[in-house]
Chains A and B, each alone.
Chain A
Amino acid sequence: MWMQSRRDFLVASAAGALALPAGVLLAGPAGKPVDMTIARWAGAKRLSNAQIDEAAGKMTAKAIEALGGMKRFVKRGDVVWIKPNIGWDRKPELAANTNPQIVAALVRLALEAGAKTVKVGDNPVHPAGKTYESSGIAAAAKAAGAKVVYLDKSRFRKAAIGGEIVREIPVYPEIMDCDVVINAPLVKHHVMSTLTMCMKNYLGVVENRQVFHQNLPVCIADITRYMKAAQSRLHLLEGVRVLTGHGPTGGNLADVQVKMTLAAGTDPVALDAWGAELVGKQPSQIGSVVHGQKEGLGTIDYRSLALREIAVS
């Protein structure tokens, strides 16, 4: 499905590409704030792992720029928390964690927009020290100027979520106290929800997340609603490398597909719908997407949004 839109996009952008050497193209309705941008790599085809990471960083910057720039989300003096997926002790090539250069690019953008502090952290399943290191995120985020935060197990605090199922769950106060939370997951296969993307990524801000799997769509929606209230408005979904099997842990290169695209936006449901199509699934098959729309957290029909598609090279 997305192939079709890509073809449309290529045709539509043939002329524009001449006018705009940077490769930034506008496809959405002008004047209205853009809700979602999709960046695709239009540069060299054969890339080394390091080049893929570099391209991911570039696409991130362009996608956020097309969305109206980081200043739209981050005010001067804000404390920003970037929440990538740092779940598993795996190297970036294995697509179990968010690409480190995406995180680094977000850190730089937030700092450029005037953020006082940018913190990066997640609640990994594997030992955090090693996981932060293997994922490459600790080094990349630090180099970009972020404060890499390891979650302190004894500092989780029970919070009343007031969800449909999740009434009370330990959340991490330091995340909740930030002015802005940027959600930066990747598209991964997941045996229960079929895919894990933006909404499911929020499981990293709580403890004892295992209990959610009995009813993932509803629990994920509960957490997403809570996080939305806690200043989490910007989402970036990585489709640079996607994990198509044995997820969400991965570990086999054969399960990884390099798709060289990513999307950013304000609507987690729409982004997740886009992610589902990216790996050839119908968004309507994904329980959390369907339920998220029903709960009013966003729209499953991401094409109905003010959408911009850009090519980056």
Chain B
Amino acid sequence: MSARQIRRGVQIVFLLTFFGLVLLARMAPGGKAMAGVEWFFHFDPLILLATALSAHAVAKAGLLALAVVGLTLVAGRVFCGWICPLGTVHAAAGWLLGRLWPDRKRREHWSSWQLAKYYALVAFLVMAVLGSHWGTLWDPLVLLYRSTAAGLLPGAQWAVEESTTPLAQSDNRAAQAVSKYAAEPAYTFLRDNVFGGVDRQRQAFWGGGLILALFVGLLLLNRYRPRFWCRYLCPLGGLLGLLAWRPLLRRAVRPESCNQCDLCAQGCHGAAAVVPGDQWKPSECFVCLDCTDQCRRDSLAFTWTWPWRREPVVRPVDLSKRAVLGSAVGGLAALMLLRITPEARGRTLNAELIRPPGARPEREFLQRCTGCGVCIQICPTGGLQPAFLEAGLEGLWTPHLLPQIGPCSYNCNLCTQVCPPQAIAPLTLEEKQKLKIGLAAIDVSRCLPYAFGRPCTVCEECCPVPDKAIYLIESTVHVRGGGQQTLKQPQIDPAKCTGCGQCEKMCVLRDRPAIHVSATNESRTSDNQPILGDASPY
């Protein structure tokens, strides 16, 4: 078995593990989250470093990332070549695009554009020091998870549902008979095991198209240069490249047998050599070992050596001091652009930004949230949505609740169990049920018993708080023609309302519900608790 075959096997195992964990992000019997669904992120050194810089905090499990740091110090960017699932997806996309549109044989040598990822990393780390976690939005694991959860899976689900529904709707019996042995079991299997189960039907996310388009766009760049993302853009790749400055595993060329045919550069994933056959940069090499397979004269080999040994020679990253400084200033400027909003400056509060239960106060939340989407993937009602501009640009793709799509389920605390950097703090179910994420308010200009003289009590009926946060008052209203009618009108007890939004979800008026939850009274910050009472500060 060649080194390439072994590597591909390892890559496929990690890729399947990653997607497996995405699919397992759901409720296990008994109301707990499946254990370990967020564990890939704990191995991510960029998340560890950025969280440490921005929040001055480290989740204990996040220290596992030190294993990847150690691996990189010893053997270079093995993570990129062998483990990273996004790297594998890009490698596969590059291979596929190469098959679809064959090109002349490429010779890929290092280009100074590959330094871009280091400068981006510098800018992101400066932003992190100033308390923004924005850089981790572009972490490869985060990018792949979010694209899968909010783009790929809903897209695939759309295709499957749309293709099976028309027949079932036109004649269910015929559909059952036709598809009894293949299509229907396959559909049920996909629904229950791939698309997140019966509660995640027709899942859709605001901005999901954008997330998907971005993902596909990045894949298409492999047509221009293989592993474009990994070579030029990936901030985690940049971090690992810096760590791989003098690894123990190095590529050695035997000059006596090398005839500079440059076959080694033809399949090089990272464009790691500066000139044919020589001047190898460990910071760019994914240690895929393809070059040793390619070489027909057996003049290339990876060998172990001591760190203080100069041989085999390695080329350094070669960052320019001026550009590093420029990137730092760029990061600062970018953060300024993100933060000069009335909301970020504390001049306004955003009523529509309902964070998941257990979310830390907004500033702390943004210091930690990577926008990975595990909470969005695991939310059983699909109500947790990635923000586009709702939380300001700094809060891009952070989770917020849209009760009209799905409320915060009363007996569920899944999102608080899985957040890798604990931007959503862990809560027991009892703690979560007492926590307020907002407050419902009735729009009396639309609510049926108030505005239209018709009975309706749906919101009261479905309020999941055992003692009911919504209560009914018998009132006499005037109706057309001068008569009077007695109706039960709903009112809200702010001491009991948790802001779960079940009422908003069930309101008869579906386009603009007559009961609407805002972030008012949220437990996580005393800044937004105008109604005195027993709303306890988080």
Binding site for B on A (CB under 8 A): 88-89, 125-130, 133-134, 150-155, 157, 173-174, 176-177, 190-192, 210-211, 213-215, 246-252
CB distance from B216 to the nearest CB of A (A): 25
The distance in angstroms between the C-alpha atoms of A299 and B27, with both chains bound, is: 45
The distance in angstroms between the C-alpha atoms of A242 and B22, with both chains bound, is: 41
The distance in angstroms between the C-alpha atoms of A151 and B381, with both chains bound, is: 15
Contact A192 B457 (CB under 8 A): yes
B448 interface residue, CB < 8 Å from A? yes
Contact B464 A251 (CB under 8 A): yes
Say which one of B3-11, B60-68, B465-473, B528-536 lies at the interface with A: B465-473
Query: Assuming the A-B contacts A130-B27, A130-B380, A173-B168, are A152 and B461 also in contact, with contact meaning beta carbons closer than 8 angstroms in the complex?
Result: no
- How many residue pairs bridge A and B at CB < 8 Å? 107
The distance in angstroms between the C-alpha atoms of A246 and B198, with both chains bound, is: 28
Known: A89-B410, A152-B191, A177-B172. 7 other contacts (CB 8 A): A125-B462, A126-B410, A154-B201, A155-B168, A173-B169, A214-B454, A214-B508
Which one of B31, B456, B462 contacts A214 once the chains associate, using CB atoms below 8 Å? B456
Within 8 A of A (CB), among B407-458: 409-412, 448, 454-458
Contact B27 A251 (CB under 8 A): no
22 contacts between A and B (CB under 8 A): A89-B411, A125-B462, A127-B380, A127-B409, A130-B380, A130-B409, A130-B411, A152-B191, A154-B161, A155-B165, A157-B172, A173-B169, A191-B457, A192-B456, A192-B461, A213-B457, A214-B448, A214-B508, A249-B461, A249-B463, A251-B465, A252-B467
Contact A191 B169 (CB under 8 A): no
B254 interface residue, CB < 8 Å from A? no
CB distance from B509 to the nearest CB of A (A): 9
Residues of A contacting B380 with CB < 8 Å?
Answer: 127, 129-130
CB distance from B503 to the nearest CB of A (A): 11
Residues of A contacting B298 with CB < 8 Å?
Answer: none
CB distance from B356 to the nearest CB of A (A): 15
Residues of B contacting A155 with CB < 8 Å?
Answer: 165, 168-169, 172
Residues of A contacting B202 with CB < 8 Å?
Answer: 153-154
The distance in angstroms between the C-alpha atoms of A246 and B460, with both chains bound, is: 9
Residues of A contacting B161 with CB < 8 Å?
Answer: 154
The distance in angstroms between the C-alpha atoms of A126 and B191, with both chains bound, is: 18
Contact A214 B461 (CB under 8 A): no
The distance in angstroms between the C-alpha atoms of A126 and B507, with both chains bound, is: 14
Contact A210 B507 (CB under 8 A): yes
Which one of B169, B201, B409, B458 contacts A210 once the chains associate, using CB atoms below 8 Å? B458
Residues of B contacting A125 with CB < 8 Å?
Answer: 462, 502, 506
Contact B464 A129 (CB under 8 A): no
User: A132's closest neighbor in chain B, by CB?
Assistant: B198
Residues of A contacting B482 with CB < 8 Å?
Answer: none
Contact B199 A127 (CB under 8 A): yes
CB distance from B417 to the nearest CB of A (A): 14
B488 interface residue, CB < 8 Å from A? yes
Residues of B contacting A152 with CB < 8 Å?
Answer: 168, 191, 198, 201
Residues of B contacting A252 with CB < 8 Å?
Answer: 466-467
Contact A153 B201 (CB under 8 A): yes
User: A152's closest neighbor in chain B, by CB?
Assistant: B201
B478 interface residue, CB < 8 Å from A? no
CB distance from B416 to the nearest CB of A (A): 16
Contact B508 A210 (CB under 8 A): yes
Contact A191 B460 (CB under 8 A): yes
- A127, A155, A174, A192 interface centre (most CB from chain B within 10 Å): A127
Within 8 A of A (CB), among B98-122: none
- B191, B198, B460, B467 interface centre (most CB from chain A within 10 Å): B198
Contact B461 A248 (CB under 8 A): yes
Residues of B contacting A127 with CB < 8 Å?
Answer: 199, 380-381, 409, 412
Task: Please provide the 3 A-B residue pairs with the shortest distance between their CB atoms, ordered closest to farther.
Answer: A251-B466, A173-B172, A150-B198
User: B460's closest neighbor in chain A, by CB?
Assistant: A191
B481 interface residue, CB < 8 Å from A? no
B29 interface residue, CB < 8 Å from A? yes
B197 interface residue, CB < 8 Å from A? yes
The distance in angstroms between the C-alpha atoms of A8 and B50, with both chains bound, is: 78
Residues of A contacting B409 with CB < 8 Å?
Answer: 89, 126-127, 130
B173 interface residue, CB < 8 Å from A? yes
- B176, B201, B460 interface centre (most CB from chain A within 10 Å): B201
The distance in angstroms between the C-alpha atoms of A152 and B191, with both chains bound, is: 9
Which one of A130, A190, A210, A211 contacts B412 once the chains associate, using CB atoms below 8 Å? A130
Contact B169 A128 (CB under 8 A): no
Within 8 A of A (CB), among B1-39: 27, 29, 31
Contact B466 A246 (CB under 8 A): yes
Residues of A contacting B29 with CB < 8 Å?
Answer: 133
CB distance from A243 to the nearest CB of B (A): 11
Residues of B contacting A153 with CB < 8 Å?
Answer: 201-202
The distance in angstroms between the C-alpha atoms of A3 and B458, with both chains bound, is: 34
Within 8 A of A (CB), among B152-169: 161, 165, 168-169
Residues of B contacting A213 with CB < 8 Å?
Answer: 455-458, 461, 508
CB distance from B411 to the nearest CB of A (A): 5
Within 8 A of A (CB), among B386-416: 409-412
Query: Assuming the A-B contacts A126-B409, A246-B466, are A192 and B455 also in contact, with contact meaning beta carbons closer than 8 angstroms in the complex?
Result: yes
User: A190's closest neighbor in chain B, by CB?
Assistant: B461
Residues of A contacting B172 with CB < 8 Å?
Answer: 155, 157, 173-174, 176-177
Contact A129 B457 (CB under 8 A): no
- B411, B465, B472 interface centre (most CB from chain A within 10 Å): B411
Residues of B contacting A210 with CB < 8 Å?
Answer: 456, 458, 506-508
The distance in angstroms between the C-alpha atoms of A250 and B466, with both chains bound, is: 6
Residues of B contacting A250 with CB < 8 Å?
Answer: 466
The distance in angstroms between the C-alpha atoms of A152 and B412, with both chains bound, is: 22
Residues of B contacting A251 with CB < 8 Å?
Answer: 464-467
Residues of B contacting A129 with CB < 8 Å?
Answer: 27, 197-199, 380
The distance in angstroms between the C-alpha atoms of A157 and B202, with both chains bound, is: 16
User: B455's closest neighbor in chain A, by CB?
Assistant: A214
CB distance from A89 to the nearest CB of B (A): 5
The distance in angstroms between the C-alpha atoms of A128 and B406, with both chains bound, is: 13
Residues of B contacting A176 with CB < 8 Å?
Answer: 172
Contact A211 B506 (CB under 8 A): no
User: B161's closest neighbor in chain A, by CB?
Assistant: A154
The distance in angstroms between the C-alpha atoms of A125 and B462, with both chains bound, is: 8
Query: Assuming the A-B contacts A154-B201, A191-B472, are A246 and B467 also in contact, with contact meaning beta carbons closer than 8 angstroms in the complex?
Result: yes
User: A216's closest neighbor in chain B, by CB?
Assistant: B455
User: B26's closest neighbor in chain A, by CB?
Assistant: A129
Q: Annotate B195-206 by CB proximity to A: 1 below 8 A, 0 otherwise.
A: 001110110000
The distance in angstroms between the C-alpha atoms of A7 and B454, with both chains bound, is: 43
The distance in angstroms between the C-alpha atoms of A221 and B202, with both chains bound, is: 31
CB distance from A124 to the nearest CB of B (A): 9
User: B459's closest neighbor in chain A, by CB?
Assistant: A210
The distance in angstroms between the C-alpha atoms of A125 and B29, with both chains bound, is: 19
User: A211's closest neighbor in chain B, by CB?
Assistant: B508
Within 8 A of A (CB), among B457-505: 457-458, 460-468, 472, 488, 502
The distance in angstroms between the C-alpha atoms of A134 and B30, with both chains bound, is: 8
Residues of B contacting A89 with CB < 8 Å?
Answer: 409-411, 464
Residues of A contacting B165 with CB < 8 Å?
Answer: 154-155
Within 8 A of A (CB), among B354-400: 380-381
The distance in angstroms between the C-alpha atoms of A250 and B411, with both chains bound, is: 13
